[in-house]
Amino acid sequence: MANASKNLDVVALTQALISRPSVTPADAGAMDTVQRTLEDLGFTCHRLKFGDIENLYARRGTASPNLCFAGHTDVVPVGTRNLWRYDPFGAEIHDGAVIGRGAVDMKGGIAAWIAAVSRYADQAGSLSLLITGDEEGVAKDGTVRVVQWLKERGEVIDHCIVGEPSSSAQLGDMIKVGRRGSVNATFTVSGKQGHVAYPQRALNPLPVLVDLLAALKDRVLDDGYADFQPSNLEITTIDTGNTATNIIPQDARARINIRFNPAHTGAELKAWFEALAAEHAARSGTKIEVQTAISGEAFLTEAGPFVDLIADVIKDTLGIETDRSTTGGTSDARFIRDLCPVVEFGLVGQTMHQINECASVADLEALTDAYSALIEAYFSKFGSGS
C-alpha cells in the first residue's frame, strides 16, 4: 500500500465527533463530520435517511474483497450533568484522556479507523464504512435498514470489523466473535377490578401474574452452549398502576428479557411464552396477552482465517493474546452477520455509558496503529492477486 498525502490525527477527529451532541435520535452534525472526512480521503458516500435517523455507507475502490468497518455516531444521554467533571460534549483532554460522551462508545473507534485508513491511498481491494445514528436507540432505522439497502443494490461486503469497545481491561485483551440473542416479552393479565373487602366479586390478576413469572423463572433454559455462557431470563418490571390501597386492580403486567445462546431461537421462546400464558389464563379464568419483540438472534463467527488474522495482528501490534468472547449485550453485528463474517474489536469499554466517559490518548493512538496493521494484513492475505 502506498502512503496517502493525509495522515489524520485520531485525537483531533475524536474531539470533533464528541463535540457533536448526537444523543439518539439526534445527529447534530456528527454524520456530516464523518462524510466530509471520508470524501476528502477519496470515498464515495451515500447518505441514507430512514425515518429520523441519519446513516452513511461509504466505499473507496471497486475491486474485491471489500473490508467494511461498522460503527455508530449516536450516543446515550449524559445522565446527571452536574456529576461530570467537564463538559460532556467539550471533548477536553485531561490526565492523558479525551473526556466526553461517546469517547469510547464509539466515536473514538470511528476516528481510529478513519485515521488508519488515511495512511493509505489505495489498497488491493475496497474499503467501506457503514455508520449509523441508531445503535443506541430502538435500532429500527439504522444498520438493519442499511443492510437491506446493501442487499437490494447487490453490494458485497466480504468481512466486517465493528468498532464497539470490545476490550475489557486492556486494549486488545478481548474481541467479540459472537453475541447472544435478545428477546423481550410483556405479559398483561386482565382480571376484574373490585373492593379488597369483597374478593369474591373480583378477579385479582396479580397472583396469576406471580405464578406465571414463577413458571418462567423455574425453567432452566440451558447449561450453556459451545463458546457461549448460559442463557438467562430476567424480570425487568412489574406494574399495576394501582394508586389505591383498597382496590383489587383490573390489570397487572410484567416485562422480561432473555439473553439466549444458540440453544434457542427467538421464535421458539416466543412460542413458549404464548403456550405458558394460555395455560395460566385457562387455569385462572383471566385473559393474558403476550407481546414479544425479538431484537436479535444468537450468532457466532466461526474460527478461521479472518478471526485468526485479527488475533495475530493484536498480538503483533499490542503484544497481547486476545480472548475470543461472546459475552455482553447485543450490537449491530447481529444485523451485519447476514452479509458476511463479523468481529468486534475496539477500545476498552470500562467507562462506556458512564458519567465522565473517556478514552486515553495512548489507546486511541494504539488502536489506530492496530487498525492500520489490520488493514494491511487483511489485503495482504485476502486481497486481489494475493
First to last CA, the chain: 13
| Single-letter amino acid, residue 119 | R
Neighbours of 255 (CB within 10 A): 16
Tell me: is residue 280 an annotated ligand-binding position. Answer: no
Residue 280 Ramachandran class (φ > 0 left, ψ -120 to 50 alpha, else beta): alpha
Give the residue from 276, 296, 316 where a domain finishes.
Answer: 296
Report pLDDT for 2. Answer: 40
What CATH number is associated with residue 229?
A: 3.30.70.360
- Active-site residue list: 74, 135
CATH number at residue 165: 3.40.630.10
In sequence order, the 6+-apart residues with CB closer than 8 A to the CB of 82 are none
Domain count, the chain: 2
User: Would residue 22 count as lying in a domain?
Assistant: yes
Domain assignment present for residue 366? The answer is: yes
pLDDT of residue 165: 97
**CA 16 distance to own-chain centroid:** 22
Q: Are residues 281 and 313 in the same domain?
A: no
Grid coordinates representing 89 are: 460534549
> What is the pLDDT, as a whole number, of residue 250?
97
CA-based torsion, 68, 58, 348, 314: positive or negative: positive
Q: Is 107 within a domain? A: yes
* Residue 124: predicted pLDDT: 85
Is 344 annotated among the ligand-binding residues? no
- Rounded to the nearest 10 degrees, the angle between the axes of helix 10-18 and helix 30-40 is 150
Compute the residue count for the chain: 386
Q: Per the domain annotation, does 320 fall within a domain?
A: yes
Average pLDDT by stretches of 10, the chain with 386 residues: 67 98 97 98 97 97 96 97 97 98 98 96 89 93 97 97 97 97 97 98 98 98 95 97 96 98 97 98 98 94 96 98 94 94 97 97 98 96 73
Is residue 222 helix, strand or coil?
coil
Domain identity same for 75 and 199: no
Domain membership of residue 368 (yes or no) is yes
Residue 2 lies in a domain: no
Q: What gap in Å lies between CA 318 and CA 54, rounded to an integer?
A: 34
Flag whether 357 is marked binding: no
pLDDT of residue 374: 97
Residues 218, 84 within the same domain: no
Annotated ligand binding at 195? The verdict is no
What DSSP string describes 23-84? BTT--TTHHHHHHHHHHHTT-EEEEEEETTEEEEEEEE-SSSPEEEEEEE--B----SGGG-
Shared-domain flag, residues 26 and 160: yes
Separate counts of helices (H) and strands (E) for the chain: 9, 19
Sequence-ordered alpha helix ranges (H) in 193-304? 205-218, 266-284
Among 241, 268, 296, give the residue marking a domain's end: 296
Range of the structural domain that residue 267 is part of: 181-296
Do residues 197 and 286 both lie within one domain? yes
Residue 50: the pLDDT is: 97
